[in-house]
């Protein structure tokens, strides 16, 4: 008797919102090293930042791949990017956002894409604010990644209508 095994598969998107053209091959190599296969990225001009380019890559791979993709891109300070990993059975979704000014921010996400703030982080924010509502608002903005969203929003709109390519990892 054979027992069918089901392996969880995660999916997500890498958004390179802005990168210097000189880094394009290095970014492709970094993504390939995590995904274990070659990628063909279609780079287009980023109208919000002169001399910069943008691309998107949709992926399917093992859960946790989003974290590995975000980590491999983390060392390049001149790159603005977001990596998403949708929730999959037994695994929370996540979004990582990076800007040269702010560094990297991680947010857990629900199946509908909403930010999720876990209980321990909420308790810490409440303890930090000492009852001051303004401090609490600042703590919540930090947990939600508000500064990252504000900085990345113009770059996101510049990518509206861009071609999205799917990359499936076959094991």
H/E run at residue 66: helix 65-73
> What pLDDT is attached to residue 2?
44
Best CA proximity match to 48, nearest among 156, 150, 147: 156
Give the Cα separation of 145 and 139 in Å (integer). 10
Give the Cα separation of 69 and 76 in Å (integer). 13
**What is the overall mean pLDDT for the chain?**
88
> What pLDDT is attached to residue 157?
84
Q: What is the average per-residue pLDDT within 41-56?
A: 95
Evaluate whether 46 touches 54 at the Cβ level (below 8 Å).
yes
Give the Cα separation of 28 and 51 in Å (integer). 18
Give the Cα separation of 50 and 62 in Å (integer). 36
Q: Where are the alpha helices (DSSP H) in 116-166?
A: 119-129, 133-144, 146-158
Evaluate whether 96 touches 70 at the Cβ level (below 8 Å).
yes
> What pLDDT is attached to residue 171?
44
Least confident window among 28-32, 72-76, 161-165: 161-165
65-120 per-position pLDDT tens digit: 999 999 999 888 799 999 999 988 888 899 999 999 999 999 999 888 889 999 99
Least confident window among 7-16, 30-39, 139-148, 161-170: 161-170
Place of tokens 């990596």: 83
Best CA proximity match to 90, nearest among 4, 3, 6, 13: 6
> What pLDDT is attached to residue 88?
85
């Amino acid at each position: 008797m054979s027992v069918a095994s089901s392996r969880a598969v995660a999916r997500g998107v890498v958004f390179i919102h802005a990168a210097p053209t000189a880094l394009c091959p290095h970014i492709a190599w970094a993504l390939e090293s995590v995904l274990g296969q070659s990628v063909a990225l279609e780079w287009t001009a980023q109208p919000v930042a002169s001399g910069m380019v943008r691309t998107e890559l949709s992926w399917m791979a093992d859960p946790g791949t989003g974290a590995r993709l975000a980590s491999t891109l983390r060392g390049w300070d001149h790159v603005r990017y977001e990596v998403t990993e949708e929730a999959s059975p037994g695994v929370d979704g996540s979004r990582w956002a990076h800007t040269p000014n702010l560094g990297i921010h991680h947010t857990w996400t629900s199946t509908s894409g909403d930010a999720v703030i876990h209980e321990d982080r909420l308790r810490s924010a409440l303890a930090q604010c000492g009852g001051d509502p303004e401090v609490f608002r600042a703590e919540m903005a930090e947990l939600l990644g508000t500064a990252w969203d504000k900085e990345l929003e113009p770059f996101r709109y510049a990518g509206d209508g861009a071609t999205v390519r799917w990359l499936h990892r076959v094991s």
